Amino acid sequence: MDAMEPRVLAPATDERWRAMLTNQLPHKRRRQVYIRIPSAPHCKLCAAPFTGVGGLVLGRFGHRRWPKNPKYCEACFRTISSNHGGAEIECTLLFADVRGSTGLAEGLPPREFNRLMGRFYDTAAKVLMEHDAFVDKFVGDEIIGIFVPALASEAHARRGVDGAMALLRATGHGSAGGPWVPVGVGINTGTAYVGSIGEGDDTELTAMGDMVNVTARLSSVAGAGEALVTVAGAEAAGLEPGLEHRTLTLKGKSEPVEVVVLLAAARHER
């Protein structure tokens, strides 16, 4: 996922987005309730459920699944599609990648592989939302989460690390039986351009910039059961000293990147 140049925006648009992304969103508490309603899938922005009794009830209040972009409810899609733009903010990004997915696909019947990936996406989306992330998108065998101050508070780096470890545990890493799907995670904290891109039905809430590229590369080299955290992310998350460090040469990067290595089986204190 390579960096894209955002279109030039009026300062007022930038400021509106910056306020929205860095101040506590008014629906944060409702979102925390919605994600606990067992009626997946959920709107990737407000977490309103789309199925079951929860989906039926909330649908009457404007949270029906938007048919032209089914990742969002009608209310959220109207918000992002009518407020094109974004802002450069400090945030935390998480990329989680299924390791060896090509081999898995080769060794499983197509229906079983589809079921496995569906289980991974559902599990990962639920974990990330429970840790106050926006679920940006699914890209092949990868899921992307964005932790912004408006939802995850100024402790967004810590929420990202906690979310990564919860995801590794939810996929069976560190357990006696081993993982039901092998996952590696990359985490990075820094400045990204976050906002609404695209036009019409293709509108998306996403993050762009070099920070995105670095996080994607980290997830691609993380081993199963590992979370690789940039030094900036580790410091912002308050990880204890003495953890394993690695210096990595990442594709497309002119300088090596130093990371802290977290393992699913270990405990990482605040």
Predicted confidence at residue 26, as pLDDT, reads 66
Nearest to 197 by CA among 67, 94, 95, 83: 83
Overall average pLDDT of the 155-180 stretch: 95
pTM for the structure as a whole: 0.84
- The per-residue pLDDT for range 234-256, each reduced to its tens digit, is 999 999 889 999 999 998 888 99
Q: Rounded to whole angstroms, how far apart are CA atoms 181 and 172?
A: 8
Q: Helices (DSSP H) in 25-100: which residue ranges?
A: 28-34, 52-58, 74-81
Q: For residue 110, what are its two tokens?
A: 């197509």
Domain 85-263, second-level architecture: 2-Layer Sandwich (3.30)
Predicted confidence at residue 4, as pLDDT, reads 35
Predicted confidence at residue 11, as pLDDT, reads 43
Residue 267 has pLDDT above 80, yes or no: no
- The per-residue pLDDT for range 180-236, each reduced to its tens digit, is 999 999 999 999 999 888 776 677 888 999 999 999 999 999 999 999 999 999 999
Q: Rounded to whole angstroms, how far apart are CA atoms 92 and 194?
A: 11
Q: Rounded to whole angstroms, how far apart are CA atoms 35 and 42?
A: 7
Predicted confidence at residue 21, as pLDDT, reads 87
* Structural domain boundaries in the chain: 85-263
- The per-residue pLDDT for range 47-106, each reduced to its tens digit, is 899 999 999 999 998 899 887 677 788 888 888 777 778 899 999 999 999 999 999 999
